[in-house]
Amino acid sequence: MTYHVVEDPIKKVAIFGGTHGNELTGVFLVKHWLENGAEIQRTGLEVKPFITNPRAVKKCTRYIDCDLNRVFDPGNLGKRMSEDLPYEVRRAQEINHLFGPKDSEDSYDIIFDLHNTTSNMGCTLILEDSRNDFLIQMFHYIKTSLAPLPCYIYLIEHPSLKYATTRSIAKYPVGIEVGPQPQGVLRADILDQMRKMIKYALDFIHNFNEGKEFPPCAIEVYKIMEKVDYPRNENGEIAAIIHPNLQDQDWKPLRPEDPVFLTLDGETIPLGGDCTVYPTFVNEAAYYEKKEAFAKTTILTLKAKSIRSSLH
């Protein structure tokens, strides 16, 4: 006898673009869907496209005062509303009101948050919870549908490194990250990839709601271990840069003896340590100020039980 996980059907879905105003694929797709949402409609499902940081989008900058994608923690969400609060904190409270409140019954079921990266990460899905059968099944479905185009799954579950994302106010938060694309640039190939990821995600939800049973599955994920900063000089300026051998090599195995940084004097700095890791977010422009040259991950297999909608 198979054991199914039974979940309520999905009712409310949101697709966020412009959480970072210069990551243009999501901005453009959401703006398009606000004009003509046919492509994202599925029967029985409410799918709402939404621009989360309109002021940053207007200026084509990542953020105005602070990173919107880092302020959805209870501390910031609970602060008393005031003009003195950073723009993004005020905005986070508005978004929490519209699509949350976070951790309540009324919050949206699923939020897809669309991002780009300057790193060569290809199509990436970001998972926040390793024990979420529903999302593991969804990611498995998307990955299988995209093949042979690779699709990587980044698990950011970690006691200290996990951050309070915009999408975290939903019951099922999904990060969609496609790169490489420069900030402020819109590439047709990247747009097409992100569009497909959303299409397959919505198809999955629709199939699930219609009663399809998804048998147990397993997915390979890259779990964050540690973030590595650039070597810096006494002024805090970058003293070495991502080595050419590591540049563009997101998700590929990196061994302790492999070079990771190159100084301007020509010195090579190896990874060190005692295990092979899988680097990601290699040379992401927006992470220079966050002191992250790349993130080290380890490969895990996550399993999901069979799932089925409760209405069938």
Partner 1 sequence: MCSRPEPPEPLRRVAVVGGTHGNEMSGVCLARYWLRAPGELQRPSFSAVPVLANPAATAACRRYVDCDLNRAFTSAFLTARAHPDDPYEVTRARELNQLLGPKASGQAFDFVLDLHNTTASMGTCLVAESSHDVFAMHLCHHLQLQSPELPCRVFLYQLPGEESYSVHSVAKSGLGLELGPQPQGVLRADLLARMRALVAAALDFIQLFNQAYRKVSSVDFPRTETGDLAGTVHPQLQDRDFEPLRPGAPIFQMFGGKDVLYEGESTVYPVFINEAAYYEKGIAFFQTEKLTFSVPALPGLAPAPSPAP
Which of 26, 100, 122, 180 binds partner 1 (CB under 8 A)? It is 180
Cα dist. 290→44, 190, 227, 284 in Å?
41, 25, 10, 10
* Of 86, 36, 84, 35, nearest in space to 56 by CA: 86
CB of 56 to partner 1, least distance (A): 13
CB of 66 to partner 1, least distance (A): 14
DSSP-derived letter for residue 88 is: H
128 a catalytic residue: no
In 38-132, the DSSP E strands lie at 46-51, 110-116, 122-127
- 120 contacts 282 by C-beta, under 8 angstroms: yes
The C-alpha angle 93, 98, 101, rounded to 5 degrees, equals 65
CB of 241 to partner 1, least distance (A): 5
Q: Binding of partner 1 at residue 159 (CB under 8 A)?
A: no
Q: Binding of partner 1 at residue 225 (CB under 8 A)?
A: no
When the beta carbons of 227 and 308 are compared against partner 1, the nearer one is 227
Tell me the window of 71-79, 130-138, 196-204, 285-293 that interacts with partner 1 (CB under 8 A). 285-293
Of these residues, 177, 213, 226, 292, which one is catalytic? 177
Q: What's the half-sphere exposure (Cβ side, CA atoms, 13 Å) at 237?
A: 4
Query: Is 131 annotated as contributing to ligand binding?
Result: no
Query: Is 20 annotated as contributing to ligand binding?
Result: yes
Q: Binding of partner 1 at residue 283 (CB under 8 A)?
A: yes
Catalytic residue positions, numbered: 177
Residue numbering of the annotated binding site:
20, 23, 62, 69-70, 115, 163-167, 177, 287
